[in-house]
Amino acid sequence: MMTDRSVIIDYLAFSAPLSCMKDVHTFQEKGHEWRKYEFLPSYRHYQHSQFTESVLGRDYEALPDSGEVFSSSIEDINRKAERYNRELLSCLHSRLRRFIAAVFGLFVGPARGAGGFAYQDSAILYSEDGGYEHFGMIYWGGNNGTFYVQIGGKGCTHVMSGTTPEKIYKWLKHLDITSLKRLDLATDDYDGVFTCHHALSAYKDDAFYGGMGPKPKLGNAHEIDATGCYTKEIVTVGSRQSRVYWRVYNKALEQKVSGTWYRSEAELKGVPIEVLLNTQGTYTGLCPYAASINPTKPAPIPILLGRKAIDAIESKVKWLRKQASSSIAKLIHFFEGDTQAVLSMIVRDDHISDLNLKLDLPPIYQTLINEKLGVSQCPF
C-alpha cells in the first residue's frame, strides 16, 4: 500500500519591524487573551516626577497623539524621549516573546550577546514545554529596527503539532508581515519510488523546470564506505541563491535509521505569506516532478504584495507622465523652475487637506518608503 505523501513545512523564516508588536494585542480570535501582552508605555508618564511610581504600578495609558506639546525645552524633550524609547523597546521585546510563545509554542532563551545576519544580538528558541533541544533562532538589534525568526525542521514539527499554517498566516497578516524569507516544503517517500535515482531521471526529462527563466543546474553527491554501502546520497537542483532550490536525499541515512526513507524538499525564498493557505498546491505547482508526488491540484505562487504595490505606484506615475509630462514641464519653465509653485497650482487644496486620500497600500510599505527616503518619525 502506497503511503500518503502529504506536504510538510520543514523550515520557516520571516522578519518584521519590531514596532509591529504595538498591534499584537488587537488580534481578533476566539480564545485569544490580549491582556497577557504588556501594556505599551505612555509618553505622558515622562512629564512629571511621579513617573517611577506610575511604571511600577503598571498604570499604562494609550499612546498620545504626536501633535501634543510636551515641553518648551529641547533638552527636556530629548531626555524624556530617550527614557520613553528605552521603556518602549523593553515593552516591545516582552510582547515579542509572548507572541513567539502564543503563536509558535516556542520559548525565547536568554540573549547570547552575539548576533548574525547583520543583527546585533540573538537567542535560541526552545519548546515552551521545556527541554534543551534547539528549535530555531531569533535575531534583533540593528537592521532598521527589525527582528528575524528562523524555525528549523524539528522546530516546525513542534510548531505544527499545535497550530496550522492557516493560523500562522492570520497572525502574520494581522501584523502586516507580507512575505516569508524562507519556506521549505517537503514530502517523504517510504516506498522507494521518489529516490535520488528517480530524481536524476526526472531532471533529464526537465521535470524540475518550472517553465520560467533558465533551466536549473544539477548537483549529485554520493559517499560509499568500504563495504559498498551508501553513507550519503543527495541530489540537488538549482542553487542556494535560486528562488526554488530542490534537495532530494536519503533521509534514512541522514538520521541513521534503517528502512527506506527519501525526502523531496523544495526551499523557497522571498514568497508571500499566502502560500501558507495552500502549501500542498504550492508544492505541486512548482514543477512536474512535485506534481507527480502529490495529487493536489497545482497552484502558482501568488505575486508578492510588495510587487503589487510597486506596480500600482509605477502605473500612476506612468499615466501621469504620459498624459501631463509636457504640460507640467511648460509650467516649470514658465515659473523658472519653481516646482513648488507649479504643484500648488495643479493640486487642489481639498485634496492636500484630505489625509484619507492615499494609495491603497499596507502601512508597512509606508514604513519602507520612509526608510528609503530617510524620513524619521516621532516616537510619540
pLDDT tens for residues 242-279?
Answer: 999 999 999 999 999 999 999 999 999 999 999 999 99
C-alpha span between 109 and 97 (Å, rounded): 9
% pLDDT > 70, the chain: 78
Q: Which residues pair with 218 in a beta bridge?
A: 237
Summarize the confidence of residues 5-14 as an average pLDDT.
96
- For 44, 313, 366, the CA distances from 376, given in Å and listed in that order, are 21, 22, 12
Summarize the confidence of residues 96-103 as an average pLDDT.
94
Range of lowest pLDDT (2-6, 56-60, 115-119): 56-60
* Range 358-375 burial, b when 16+ CB lie within 10 A, else e: eeebeebbebbeeeeeee
Q: Give the cell for residue 80.
A: 524624556
The pLDDT value given to residue 26: 86
C-alpha span between 14 and 184 (Å, rounded): 12
The pLDDT value given to residue 82: 85
C-alpha span between 193 and 293 (Å, rounded): 9
The pLDDT value given to residue 375: 52
What is the 3-state secondary structure of the chain?
CCCCCCCEEEEEEEEEEHHHHHHHHHCCCCCCCHHHCCCCCCHHHHHCCCHHHHHHCCCCCCCCCCCCCCCCCHHHHHHHHHHHHHHHHHHHHHHHHHHHHHHHCEEECCCCCCCECCECEEEEEEECCCCCCCCEEEEECCHHHEEEEEECHHHHHHHHCCCCHHHHHHHHHHCCCCEEEEEEEEEEECCCCCCHHHHHHHHHCCCCCCCCCCCCCEEEEEEECCCCCEEEEEEEECCCCCCEEEEEEEHHHHHCCCCCCEEEEEEEEEEEHHHHHCHHHHHHCCCHHHHCCCCCCCCCCCCCHHHHHHHHHHHHHHHHHHHHHHHHHHHHHHCCCCHHHHHHHHCCHHHHHCCCCCCCCCHHHHHHHHHHHCCCCCCC
Written as one letter, the residue type at 13 is A
Considering only the C-alpha atoms of the chain, give the largest distance between any 2 of them, rounded to a whole number of Å.
87
The predicted-structure confidence for 275-321, as pLDDT tens digits, reads as follows 999 999 999 999 999 999 999 999 998 876 555 555 556 667 777 88
The pLDDT value given to residue 313: 67
C-alpha span between 327 and 315 (Å, rounded): 19
Does the pLDDT value for residue 23 go beyond 50? yes
Counting Cα atoms < 13 Å in the Cβ hemisphere of 93 gives 18
The pLDDT value given to residue 341: 86
34: pLDDT confidence band, cut at 50, 70 and 90?
very low
* Range 147-159 burial, b when 16+ CB lie within 10 A, else e: bbbbbbbebbebb
Phi-psi region of 374 (alpha: psi -120 to 50; beta: other; left: phi over 0): left
CB under 8 Å, gap of 24 or more: what pairs does 228-236 form? 233/196, 234/196, 235/196, 235/199, 235/200, 235/203
Q: Give the cell for residue 358.
A: 492615499
The predicted-structure confidence for 204-233, as pLDDT tens digits, reads as follows 999 999 988 889 999 999 999 898 888 899
Q: Which residues contact 339 (CB under 8 A, 6 or more apart)?
A: 332
The pLDDT value given to residue 238: 96
User: Considering the entire predicted model, what is its pTM?
Assistant: 0.73
C-alpha span between 88 and 92 (Å, rounded): 6
β-pairing verdict for 146-151 and 136-140: antiparallel
Q: What is the rounded average pLDDT for all residues in the chain?
A: 83
Summarize the confidence of residues 77-100 as an average pLDDT.
88
129: pLDDT confidence band, cut at 50, 70 and 90?
confident
Written as one letter, the residue type at 82 is E
The predicted-structure confidence for 336-353, as pLDDT tens digits, reads as follows 888 888 888 888 888 888
The pLDDT value given to residue 278: 97
CB 41, CB 60: distance < 8 Å = yes
CB 188, CB 251: distance < 8 Å = yes
